[in-house]
Amino acid sequence: MTDADLPTHRAVPPLTQVLAFEDEAPMGQALAQALGLPLGLIRRHRFPDGELKLTLPAPLSGSVVLLRSLHQPNEKLVELLISAPSARELGAERLLLASPYLAYMRQDIAFHPGEAVSQRHIGALLAGQFDGIVTLDPHLHRIASLDEVMPSPCRAVSLTAAGLLGEFIATQHSHDTLPPLLLGPDEESAQWVAQAASAHGLPHAWCVKQRHGDRDVRVTLPAGLDLEGRAVVLLDDMASTGRTLIEAARLCFAAGADTVDVAVTHALFVGDALEALQAAGVRRVWSSDCVPHASNAVPVAGLLAEVLRSF
């Protein structure tokens, strides 16, 4: 066997730059700083008919991280479809997508004939453009791992902000006589509640939910839960209309809770959701900065950077 017959292993190009769109410049700067990389901003120009022209920094090289959180996703998906191949044309050898909020993950099966399984198709679309994808707390119901959503060879990593939220909550209640009770508004939130509670040994439980529509939910507190005089923090992966959290907050107050706060990874808060939560008696609302919002209190750039370095 000669040297020419031996398998060759191409070195993985090093991380060289973070790209972010102008509306996400603050998180882009935080991620770039955490990675020790320069930040380049992608500029957008909108034509009168609504089309976008994107301008990327040039030239590019090595492994490039593209930051884009996909709340209000439709236009942002088009941006990714334009910016990803453009980055490769400008010299990027490898593209990693840091998407703190990953959209279209709810619909993982077809409940009725003709329903599109958006999770599968959006996952395939993104996997076809990027060599690796990192996100936080994707809204997966019947899927155990993000690898099932993103076809190989794209490497997909799902992180959770639950530990960071739990740490923050414990700090906010550090002077309380009793530790706060972390309460999930439904069974799906159990995984986040348990993980957030584990770092400081906080008591935790979760409710049972029946959903009859986007804004019609019924929530039941777990049997035997004593909330009299307790500080309760409702914890979930996301808040959209806020109706599940509102129903849970009302039940907590009816059961004697002294205060109710809310902590979520993704602060979508569509329409009057935040105002409705406050009207229901919720004292404070905290969120990670995966989705830009006035409630942002927990940064995730460090968590993203740790995993991106491992790529």
Catalytic residue selected from 209, 230, 266, 293: 209
Going 117 to 118 to 121 to 127, the CA torsion angle's sign is: negative
Is the distance from CB of 71 to CB of 104 less than 8 angstroms? no
Could you give the CA distance from residue 226 to residue 233 in angstroms, rounded to a whole number? 14
Bond from prior residue into 7 cis (ω within 30 degrees of 0):
no
Report residue 7 as tokens.
């398998």
Q: Does residue 209 have an active-site annotation? A: yes
List 302's β-bridge partners, or say none: none
Check: CB of residue 268 under 8 Å from CB of residue 277. Answer: no
Would you state the structure tokens that stand for residue 100, as one six-digit string?
């703190």
The Cα 53–Cα 23 span in angstroms is: 15
Residue ranges of alpha helices (H) inside 90-223 are 118-127, 162-172, 190-198
Residues catalogued as catalytic: 209
